[in-house]
Structure 1
Amino acid sequence: MHCSVVADFFSILKKKKKNVFFCYAVLPQNIGTLHGLFLFFISLFPFTLILTTDNNYLFTKKKAKKFSFLVVWVQFFLARKKISNSTESIMDNAPAPSVYIKTSPRDSEVEKAQNINSATPFVTLPSLPVPISRGQCVVYDQEVLICGGLYTRDCYSYHVLEKKYKKICSYPKDVKLRGHSVVKRVNSNTNDTMLLSFGGYKNEKKHTLTMKYVSVWNGEKQTSNCNQWLPLMDKNEDKPIIIGGDEDDYDGMRSVIGGSNNHLLFITYRPKNIDVFNLDTFQYVNRGILPSDNWIYFHGFVSKTKSELTSTSTEANEKKSEMILFQRKTGLAIEYDEDSKSFDFRKLSVFDDMAPLSEYAHVCINDTILFFGGHGGPKLGVSKAIHKYSLKENTWVKFEHNLSTPLSDCVSVLSEDNTYVHILGGFNDHRDEMTIHVKTKATDWMDEKEKEKMQIYNREKELEKEKNRKKLQASHFFCCCLFFYLCCL
C-alpha cells in the first residue's frame, strides 16, 4: 500500500476559508524519506490529517478533530516502525501485514477459516439468497459477484469477511439469461472495474450490457451510472454494440479475456466456433473452427496466466494468447497470435472418467485446472467427482474426496488472492436448483511442486501490484503538491 493523498475540495468550497481543508492520507507499507519530507511540508499548514490503513482507520474524521497534529505525527512514526519490520514478509510470500491501532474482530475469523483440515476440504458458507444454476461469477477484492442465472435476473455480492450477501441490481426484464457470460475488465489508468455481460439464443434477441461496479459494502451513496446494467455503447457513433449475430447460438458458451492489453474477448460456442472480439474497437478480429469431434457447449474454457505462457518474456510472446478447452472427449490447447491473427491448435489427452462429462464447474490455478461435478448424460447422471489436469505434465488426477452432493451447472471462481476456490449453485441429481455455497483451499488440491509454483506466481502478482501502486502514488503526489502550492498563493 503506497502513499496516496487526496485533498477534499468540497470542504474548501463549503467552509470558504483560506488554507483550511481536510487531507486524507493512506499509510504506505514502505514509507521513505520522500514521504516523510512531504508530510513535514504539509504539516506547516493548518489542517486535519487522517491516516487510514485500508478500511481500518487510525483516526476517524470525527475523532481526528480532537487530536493535535503532534499526536498524529507520533502515530505516523510508530506505524512506520511496525511496517519496516514486516516488509521482508512480502518477499517470503507471506500475506502483507496490515497496521492496526485497534484489532479487528474479523481477524480471528480469517485465521480459523485458513486452518482447514485436509480430511474435510470444504467449508460450508451461508446459502445463496436464491437458488442459482448456470450462474456467472467474478471476484472483486474481498467480494464474489454473482451475476444472474438460468432462472434469476438478480445480481448479488458476497463479502468473504462479512459472510453476508447484498443485492447489487437486477438485469432488465427483457433480457434472457439462458446462455450468458460475464467477464471482468479493469481499466489500468483509472482502476475502474467494468463487467461485461452478453449472450442469447440463436435467432433471438441478444444482450450486450456493461456495469461499472463500485462496492456495495463501502456505505457510500452510489452514482447513477454505477452498479446497474447498461447497454454497451459506441461513443463515436452513439449506438449500442451487440456481440454476436442472429445465427450465433450462445446457449452454453464460454468466454475469456486475453490479448497483450487484455483487450481481446475469446468466445467459444456451438457447434465448434471460436470468435475473437476487440473490446477497444468493438470489432470482430477473427473467427475460427475448433478441431473437435463433438459439439462445444457447457464446456471448460480457461486462459493460461502470462507467467505460464513461456519461460522468457519477449515482445513476440506478449502478442500471443494461450487457452485451454475441454469438452467431453475433446481437449485442445489454443494459441492465438495477434500479429498474424491466426490460431494454432494442439490436442490434449482426456481422462476416461472425464470424457462423458460436461456442465461442470472449473477453475484454473497457474498450470492446474480443477473440475467439480458435471453431468454424464442419462447413463451416468450428475457427478460429484473432482478431477485435476496438469497443463505442464499433460496428466490427470481423480481425487478420493468428492463434493458433498452431486452437482451440475454449478460455477466456481478463484479468490483474488488465489487462496480459496468458491463453488456456488447448480442442479443436484434430482434436477433441483441449489443454494449451496462452499469454499476450499486451493493448496489442498496441489502437490508440493504445484504449491511452490503458486507461491512464485503470488509473489510476482504482488510485485506487479506494487508497481501499479507506485504509478498511482506518483500522480497523486504531483497533484497534491500542485494543489498545496496553489493554496499558498
Structure 2
Amino acid sequence: MCGIQYRAYYLWREEYKEICKYPDGLELEGHAVVKCEVSEDNKVLTVLSFGGENKHTLLMKYRSVWDENEVKRVKEKEEEEEENKWIAMANTIDNGSNGNESDMEDARAQIGGSNNQFLFVVNNPNHISVFKWPSLEPVIREILPADQLIGGSCFVKTNDNQMLLFNSNIGLSIKYDEDQHRFQYESIPVCFELTYVIDYSFSLLFPSQKKKWTKIKYRFPSTNETLALVTADGMFVHIIGGVNDCEEASQQHLKISIDDVTGKVTFLFLFFLFFFLSSFSFDTKRYFCKKKKKKKMVRLEMMLALLFNTGYYKVA
C-alpha cells in the first residue's frame, strides 16, 4: 500500500508494518504502482512506481518484512542488498514523443505479454504505449480510439495480451499482437451510471462469457479515493483509506466477503469493484462543507458489480 509511507498488511494478523518511505521531496499525485514479477523462490516481489505529477520512475525489490529470520539474514549480509527500498531507474516512463511532454498523472499500467516481457501503459489524454520490461525500452505508442480520457481509467488485463479499458463513456477491449506490434480495438458497452464517472479503484477477479451489467444490492459506506484489493484466493475484497466529503483522510479498512457481495455463483464471470471518486458536473448538486467552508461538487459513491462477458473466454 502506497502513500508517502509504503506499508505491508498481514491478512492473518490484521496488522500493518512499514516497509520504507518514498524519497524525500517527492510529491505523490496520481502515480501508478504495478506488481511486476516474483522471484523463482517466491520470496522477492518486484514493484514499479511511476508517473504522477512529477513523472518519477522507481523500482523496489520487496522481501517480506514479516519473516523475522529472513529480515535478520538480509541485515547480517556484508553487502547490503537493495531490497525494500525505492531505487530510481536509469530509464524513465514517459509517453511523450517528438519532444512533447505527456500527461502521466493518473496513468495506468499492466505487465503482460507471453513471457511478461511488456509493460502496457495508458495515460491522458488518449495514449497507449508498450515498453519492454524491465529495460523500459519503448516499443510502440498509439492514440486510442477515444477523444479524451478523464482522470484515472479502469485498465485491467484479461489474458497475456488482452486488456479492458473503461473511462467515463468509453469502453474498449484492447488486444496486442506481439509479432506485428499492433493493437486491435473493439468497442464494448458501458453501463449508463458509469458514463459520468472518473477515477476508478478496481479489481478483476475472473472472466466469463456474457455481456451484462448488474447493479448489486450491497450498500457500502460513503467512500472517496479508496483503494480496492481482492485477496489472492478471491474470497474477500479490502477497501482501504480514502477521504471524506471534506477532503479529510480516512483511516478506514473494510473487509467484505465476495459471497456477501455477489451471492454464491457457480459460473465464471468478470467482476469489477468500482469505488467511484466521480464528481458530477451538475450545478444543482452542489453542497456546502461547513468544516472547510468551501463548496464542492457532490460525489457519487456507489458500488457496482460488472458481470461483463466478452465471449472471448473458453471455460476448460
Q: TM-score range by the shorter chain?
A: 0.7 to 0.9
Q: Say yes or no: does 1:329 pair with 2:169.
A: yes
* CA deviations over 1:110-166 (Å, ceiling 9, x no partner): xxxxxxxxxxxxxxxxxxxxxxxxxxxxxxxxxxxx122xxxx11111111111111
Q: Does the C-alpha gap of structure 1 residues 294 and 281 become closer, same or farther in structure 2, counting only changes over 3 Å?
A: closer
Using the aligned pairs only, state the percent identity. 34
* CA deviations over 1:172-224 (Å, ceiling 9, x no partner): 013221121111122454533111111133xxx52111111111111132443
Question: RMSD in angstroms over aligned alpha carbons?
Answer: 2.0
Residue pair 1:443, 1:451 contacting (<8 A) in 2 also? no
Please state whether the residue corresponding to 1:363 is helix, strand or coil: coil
Q: What is the rounded CA distance, in whole Å, between the counterparts of 1:453 and 1:251 in structure 2?
A: 34
Largest Rg, 1 or 2: 1
Q: What is the rounded CA distance, in whole Å, between the counterparts of 1:187 and 1:158 in structure 2?
A: 18
Q: What is the rounded CA distance, in whole Å, between the counterparts of 1:343 and 1:429 in structure 2?
A: 40
5+ long unaligned stretches in structure 1: 1-145, 233-239, 307-319, 368-390, 455-489
Residue pair 2:92, 2:136 contacting (<8 A) in 1 also? no
Partner residue, 1:282: 136
* CA deviations over 1:71-119 (Å, ceiling 9, x no partner): xxxxxxxxxxxxxxxxxxxxxxxxxxxxxxxxxxxxxxxxxxxxxxxxx
Q: What is the rounded CA distance, in whole Å, between the counterparts of 1:293 and 1:394 in structure 2?
A: 24
Match of 2:186 among 310, 326, 346: 346
| Residue identity in the other structure for 2:125 | P
Aligned counterparts, 1:62-211, within 5 A: 146-148=1-3, 153-187=4-38, 189-191=40-42, 192-201=44-53, 205-211=54-60
| Residue identity in the other structure for 2:231 | S
Q: What is the rounded CA distance, in whole Å, between the counterparts of 1:266 and 1:425 in structure 2?
A: 27
Partner residue, 1:213: 62
* CA deviations over 1:401-433 (Å, ceiling 9, x no partner): 22112x222111111222211111122233222
* CA deviations over 1:9-46 (Å, ceiling 9, x no partner): xxxxxxxxxxxxxxxxxxxxxxxxxxxxxxxxxxxxxx
Q: Does the C-alpha gap of structure 1 residues 451 and 411 become closer, same or farther in structure 2, counting only changes over 3 Å?
A: farther
> What TM-score, normalized to structure 2?
0.75
Q: What is the rounded CA distance, in whole Å, between the counterparts of 1:254 and 1:334 in structure 2?
A: 14
Q: Which has the higher helix share?
A: 1
Q: What is the rounded CA distance, in whole Å, between the counterparts of 1:250 and 1:226 in structure 2?
A: 26
Q: What is the rounded CA distance, in whole Å, between the counterparts of 2:67 and 2:191 in structure 1?
A: 45
Residue pair 2:201, 2:228 contacting (<8 A) in 1 also? yes
Q: Say yes or no: does 1:443 pair with 2:259.
A: yes
Partner residue, 1:404: 221
| Residue identity in the other structure for 1:231 | A
Q: What is the rounded CA distance, in whole Å, between the counterparts of 2:234 and 2:156 in structure 1?
A: 15
Please state whether the residue corresponding to 1:445 is helix, strand or coil: helix
| Residue identity in the other structure for 1:427 | V
> What TM-score, normalized to structure 1?
0.50
Q: Does the C-alpha gap of structure 1 residues 361 and 215 become closer, same or farther in structure 2, counting only changes over 3 Å?
A: same
Residue pair 2:124, 2:148 contacting (<8 A) in 1 also? no
Residue pair 1:269, 1:296 contacting (<8 A) in 2 also? no
Residue pair 1:268, 1:296 contacting (<8 A) in 2 also? no
Corresponding pairs, count = 256
| Residue identity in the other structure for 1:147 | C
Please state whether the residue corresponding to 1:355 is helix, strand or coil: helix
Q: What is the rounded CA distance, in whole Å, between the counterparts of 1:340 and 1:296 in structure 2?
A: 30
Partner residue, 2:92: 242
Residue 293 (structure 1) shift: 4.1
Residue pair 2:117, 2:133 contacting (<8 A) in 1 also? yes
Q: What is the rounded CA distance, in whole Å, between the counterparts of 1:186 and 1:269 in structure 2?
A: 22
Q: What is the rounded CA distance, in whole Å, between the counterparts of 2:227 and 2:104 in structure 1?
A: 17
Residue 359 (structure 1) shift: 2.0
| Residue identity in the other structure for 2:226 | C
Q: What is the rounded CA distance, in whole Å, between the counterparts of 2:65 and 2:239 in structure 1?
A: 22
| Residue identity in the other structure for 1:196 | L
Structure with the bigger RCO (C-alpha within 8 Å, sep 6+) is 1
| Residue identity in the other structure for 2:45 | T
